[in-house]
Structure 1
Amino acid sequence: MTRILPTALVMGVIVGLLVAAYMNVFNVPVMEWAIALEGCDIDRAGCAAQLAAAEDEAPLPLSFLTSLGGQRIGMSVGLAVVGVLCAAVFTGLYHLMRNATPGWNPWAWAAVAGLLGFWGVSLYTQIKFPLNPPGIGSEGTLLARQGFQFLFIAVSTLSVAVVVYGVGVVNRTSAASGRWLRYGGIGFAYTVVALLLAFALPGVRDAAPDWLPPELTIMFRTFTAGGHFLLWMGIAFATIGYRYYRERDVHAYPQVSGLGPGHVRLIRCSHPLTR
């Protein structure tokens, strides 16, 4: 894991910036749409053209006047930080997958670890706490919403990690013929924990304002979930791909010189990604 972690953290920053570009292309226009609708509803109850004509008479909301260039930069920095955090979680899940399924190859470990991270950290959280465009929701419930979301993410991620660890225990201690029943028990236990988590924590959802079109919310949530999927899978495959690229000249049976003419010594070594 210590060999994968530095690479994963760097890839987290790079992939985070790439996903930020994706979000700027697809999600920022949706945010602009929401900000424009919010400005029209709050200040003049009219259209954007009317607001522009009346700008000298009364100030518009700060969110409406703020340069979206600054918001784009902030989104890029934020996703780079999120990429580092996701890379750390991915490294832990990759390590657990490697121990649980030693017969698999590194690409399979990375793919499953990325999918598990996407589910436990991103997708399941978005199902429980559906995202709205920035600025939508009461400021009085902001801390409660964020606190419950962080708690949900922590417990959900830990539950996924325990599932992978449990699969490893079954693989090491059970015969092949009796593993499927134990796999089913692990899956059932995780389902119970996931449902308890979903119903035990309050959602703290604020009602959407009347001026917010349903299609805007659907687009925002879809693009956000797609960005998170790209982030997790990008970190997974970029990390393993770079490790393979770095080790492309390392052979399974390298020759050792200095043994005298006519002598060749072969040393068996494992692939660095399996250590």
Structure 2
Amino acid sequence: MMRSLLVRGMLAGLIAGVLATLFAYFFGEPSVETAIGLEGTAAHSHHDTGAQDPAAHDPAAHEPAPAEEEELVTRGVQSTVGLLTGVGLYGVAVGGLFSLAFAFVYGRLGILRPRVTAALLAGGAFVVVFLVPFLKYPANPPAVGQAGTIGSRTSLYFGFVALSLLIGILAAAFGRKLADKLGAWRGGLIASGGYVVLIAVAAALLPSIDEVPAEFPGSTLWTFRLASVGTQVVLWTVLGLAFGALSEKALTEKSLVRKDA
């Protein structure tokens, strides 16, 4: 049965990845194109003002600049096939992990149908794995951020994701125990409150990153980040609904077979 759930999870992840790609293409790529254009304009302006730089009087400065390296992958391929490949593979991987998490929590959250369990799990995963880390370290479009800090920014983001996931798992386990004593509603509220408090303390202790140039258009930044959130909303919503639909029939049939036996 575990293998069957894994296959269904990866299939649901693939469906979610395709739909998330379509959303990202239509709503996210325009802001990416704008940011890339701004980056090119800034670099061109810097090159044009080079004559005012004292270093321009250096004989070495008059040597011909090396030819620009040819793009291995064109922007057109990146925004279509590359985007579909990246988001699609991400969706398949997340779908596989989602099926494992579902197999662990199914039946442990009370008497809930597979569709409901999958929907609740997808909603919780969206908040813990994406939304909370995003609020601390939001995504930035091209031309935003310093090249020398890419490694540290990446480490901080994924470290915060892991921390949020760990606190979320502990809160869920604690809430399940409280539910037996105080009821599902009170237990869930206390566990959720504990998660919020702990993750808020962690976010306050971790360093903040603000590398957005003052001249960068706020509308472009807002559109890009809104599209990033929307892409993840589509991914997790479709994943939860698709996996619930694909798994419910199999789990229901298995339950009926056990009763007949």
Same structural fold, with TM-score higher than 0.5 when normalized by the shorter chain: yes
After superposition, the C-alpha distances for 1:195-246 in whole angstroms (9 at most, x for unaligned) are 1221122123313251x21000110001110110110111111112123456
User: Which residue is equivalent to 1:71?
Assistant: 78
Question: Can you give the 5+ residue segments of structure 2 that lack an aligned partner in the other structure?
Answer: 48-63
Match of 1:100 in 2: 108
Opposite residue 191 of structure 1, the aligned amino acid is V
Structure 1 residues 84, 251: closer, same or farther in 2, change over 3 A? closer
Q: Equivalents in 1 of 2:199, 2:128: separation in Å?
A: 10
Deviation at 1:189, TM superposition (A): 2.1
Aligned to 1:42: 43
Change (3 A) 1:112 1:60: farther
Match of 1:164 among 168, 172, 186: 172
8 Å Cα contact 2:28-2:228 kept in structure 1: yes
Give the superposition deviation at 1:192: 2.1
Residues 105-145 of structure 1 deviation map (CA, whole Å, 9 limit, x = unaligned):
11211111111111111111111011111342101110000
Distance in 2 (CA, whole Å) between partners of 1:205 and 1:79 is 26
Residues 230/186 of structure 1: CA separation in 2 closer, same or farther (3 Å cut): same
TM-score, scaled to structure 1: 0.76
Identity %, equivalent residues: 23
Please give the alpha-carbon distance, in whole angstroms, between the structure 2 residues aligned to 1:62 and 1:208: 27
> Larger helix proportion, structure 1 or 2?
2
User: Higher RCO, 1 or 2 (CA under 8 Å, sep at least 6)?
Assistant: 2
Moved over 3 A (4+): 57-66, 179-185, 244-248, 250-254
Aligned to 2:222: 218
Gaps of 5+ in 1: 47-56, 255-266, 271-275
In structure 2, the CA distance between the partners of 1:199 and 1:71, relative to structure 1 (3 Å rule), is same
What is the deviation of 1:82?
1.8
**Structure 1 contact 100–164 (Cα < 8 Å) conserved:** no
> Residue 18 of structure 2 corresponds to which residue in structure 1?
17
**2:191 aligns with one of 186, 191, 194:** 186
Aligned-pair distance for 1:66?
A: 6.4
The equivalent of 2:51 in structure 1 is none
Number of residue pairs the alignment of both structures matches: 243
Displacement, 1:93?
Answer: 4.0
State the AA in 1 paired with 2:193: F
* Match in the other structure for 1:242: 246
Contact residue 119 and residue 241 of structure 2 kept, 8 A = yes
Query: RMSD of aligned C-alpha atoms?
Result: 3.2
TM normalised by structure 2 equals 0.80
